[in-house]
Amino acid sequence: MYALLHFLALCLTTFYFRLRKRGRGNIPSEGPAILVCNHLKMMDTACIIALSPRKVCFMAKKELFENAFLRAVLRSIGTFPISRGEADISGIRTALKILKEGGLLCIFPEGTRNKERNVPLLPLQEGVAMIALRAKAPIVPCWVDGGYAPWDRCAITAGKPLDLTPYEALRRPDAAAMRRLTEQMRKAMLDLRLETCRALGKEC
């Protein structure tokens, strides 16, 4: 199922959105890692699947799993539910299990789609930093931009993994460490925003 989805994502993003993929080599070819990306449209998922050279598991809002058919499709491709706005222990455990098994996980740290035209990035959820520190998994910042209109240009950029060595001595991630890593993640994503805008030949 995922192979079919990957093929469809490549076709959609290449011929419909003319997606430009940058920084694919920054995604680890093996071992646990977390992709973090801004979230504009549902089509962001297709762009990430097209960008990644390996299978990506997604964390998605639990409301999407209420439909039986959609739930079956999402689970078949490694997507699992998470409750937004609350501490979802089950979802966190699933994320840690995927990373412990060496998987690649994508999380949209804004927690929802950004519909604010004048705000490039909504406040980031610190849970992503907590999962990364507990799993000792590198965070790969990403940025997607474009109109998602037929034959309009779209681009996605993956940056270099964030340096987690300053946190290696921590037994457990504390609030200060999570805030610091979340701010580091935010800065890296906004830097990629500028690169992605340049790739599209537009101003941010």
Contacts of 27 (CB under 8 A, 6+ apart): 33, 35, 51, 52, 53, 54, 104, 140, 158
What does the mean pLDDT of the chain come to?
Answer: 92
Indicate whether 178 pLDDT > 70. Answer: yes
Q: Which residue has the higher pLDDT, 71 or 192?
A: 192
Residue 86 has a pLDDT of 67
Of the candidates 124, 161, 125, 145, the residue with the CA atom closest to the CA atom of residue 194? 145
Percent of the chain with pLDDT over 70: 99
The predicted model scores a pTM of: 0.93
Average pLDDT (191-197) is: 95
Of the candidates 115, 127, 145, 114, the residue with the CA atom closest to the CA atom of residue 34? 127
Quick one: CA dihedral 157, 160, 161, 167, positive or negative?
Answer: negative
CA pair distance 180, 140, nearest whole angstrom: 16
Are 184 and 53 in contact by the 8 Å Cβ rule? The answer is no
Q: Which residue has the higher pLDDT, 1 or 35?
A: 35
What CATH fold (topology level) applies to the domain 2-199? Glycerol-3-phosphate (1)-acyltransferase (3.40.1130)
Question: Could you state, in order of their start, the residue ranges of all structural domains in the chain?
Answer: 2-199
Of the candidates 84, 132, 127, 124, the residue with the CA atom closest to the CA atom of residue 105? 132
Confidence of residue 40 (pLDDT cuts 50, 70, 90): very high
Are 125 and 185 in contact by the 8 Å Cβ rule? The answer is no
DSSP-derived pairing of the beta strands 154-158 and 139-146: antiparallel
Residue 147 has a pLDDT of 77
CA pair distance 189, 204, nearest whole angstrom: 13
C-alpha 162, offset from chain centre: 14
Task: Please work out, in degrees rounded to the nearest 5, the angle formed at the alpha carbon of residue 46 by the alpha carbons of 94 and 56.
Answer: 30
Average pLDDT (110-123) is: 92
Residue 98 has a pLDDT of 97
C-alpha 84, offset from chain centre: 16
Indicate whether 127 pLDDT > 80. Answer: yes
pLDDT in tens, 56-111: 999 988 888 988 888 888 888 889 988 876 667 899 999 999 999 999 999 999 99
Return the minimum-mean-pLDDT range out of 39-43, 99-103, 151-155, 174-178: 151-155
DSSP-derived pairing of the beta strands 33-37 and 139-146: parallel
